[in-house]
A and B are shown apart, each in its own frame.
Chain A
Amino acid sequence: MSRPGFAYDFPHSSLLSAGDLNPLDVSMIFERASLHFEANRRKEPRERTLDGLAVVNLFFENSTRTLASFEMAAKRLGADVINFSAGSASISKGESLADTALNLNAMNPDVMVVRHKAAGAAAYFAKVTGAAVVNGGDGSHEHPTQALLDAFTLTRHWGDIGGKRICIIGDILHSRVARSNISLLNLLNAEVRLCGPATLLPADADRWGVTVFHDLDEALEGCDAVMALRMQKERMSGGLIPSDREFAALYGLNHARLDVASPDCLVMHPGPMNRGVEIDGALADDPERAVIMEQAEAGVAIRMAILELITGRASNQRYVDDGTGDGA
């Protein structure tokens, strides 16, 4: 049984939102990331696919792992990398975001990775400059590379995310990680649950294609993966929970609470972790359960794949379906 074949070119030159991707885009990213993941693990030198390209990491908000991850991804593939981070000269001199964007763009970088505290900042940067922009986190809005690396990690364990039950716990209100994950996991047909006190959940979150829980034991029932989120105190004005110890007692993840989850339930955390608050240290360190280090590892591979695909340098830039259903 054959049908007309088709070819599909990766269509994105920026990555601003997980919601811009379709399932085929995601599988192209994962296919490429898989190669990088295995090669990175074996410490194999990579082909310099980004040779001659300049990647500017523009981090208006503090970051350790995301900045390092983007920098490593770009350098592994031979790009020239320039980092600007919070506190560096131009950023702290009160220049407007538009002027910073235009000035940097005038130097003709090939990709700009932008992290900023304002929702919509990466898209604004892209609009002002017309350049290729990767959203490295815009306020409480989106963090698409994090969602991709989370889903990639799960895919490595499960093969397919479809039909799996995943619970995101804690400060969802302020979390860009949660927003990007919700849209990506929904795209991949997972069953998404959110759990936290009403003060940490967005109003009307039940319209986001998720099931909302306030009781952790109910939320964890039958889960295949759980993702604990940090309390984003820097984004809160005034207290949203009574105390860390109350949060730990009601919503803190530990081994005992996972008894109701699936026996193979994976434990994720995008970091930075507050041990003893949203996650018990022993659980975070349990190699049988926690895939937190693997998330960090996957981050480099995913970002390598994204940088290649948006610059048109990936070997799988074009997906060809020859009509036999095997793909190519």
Chain B
Amino acid sequence: MGNSTEEREALSSAMDRYADGDEAAFAVVYDLLAPRLYGFFVRQCGDAARAEDLVQQTLLQMCAARETFARGSDVLPWAFCIGRRLLVDGRRRTKKEVLFATAEEDAAALETRVERFAIPDDVAMTKELAARAEDELERMPESQREAYMLVRQEGLSVAQAAEVLGTTATAIKLRAHRAYEALRTALADAGGEQ
């Protein structure tokens, strides 16, 4: 699912019907939302089984709180906000920092794709750039990393990301821009070194 106005309206309308008592509408909410949430969780925790569990928990939280759904409001920020909270709470419980652990897997997948077409030097350079990006993301303040992740990686609008993180759109723009610039500089340096 993308983030177009029609898709947002379809999701909002399905959630509205569900909040009003149409139980069948929850299946529509699932179909529109689950792939988006699953992608988010897989990228965040790098564990398909954990991602499945988080998708289930997020949707059940929405189900339990359906009476609070504001008529016609955007579902994505609410869903991502719940998902993010579950993710953060889970990390606190396990005391294990796994943020962006999937960057390694992304790099591995990218390598596999590139290997089929490219010469070994290109593969090495791609690996190096992915590792540099991963390092840079880990070094960033969490606020910048989250803003960048939601806007650039998950495709949320600036306003939606602001709702998820409970801040202003201006702050999101600034944080995402800083993160983007830091990544660009790091990758440009890595490219220059190559």
A and B together in one complex = no
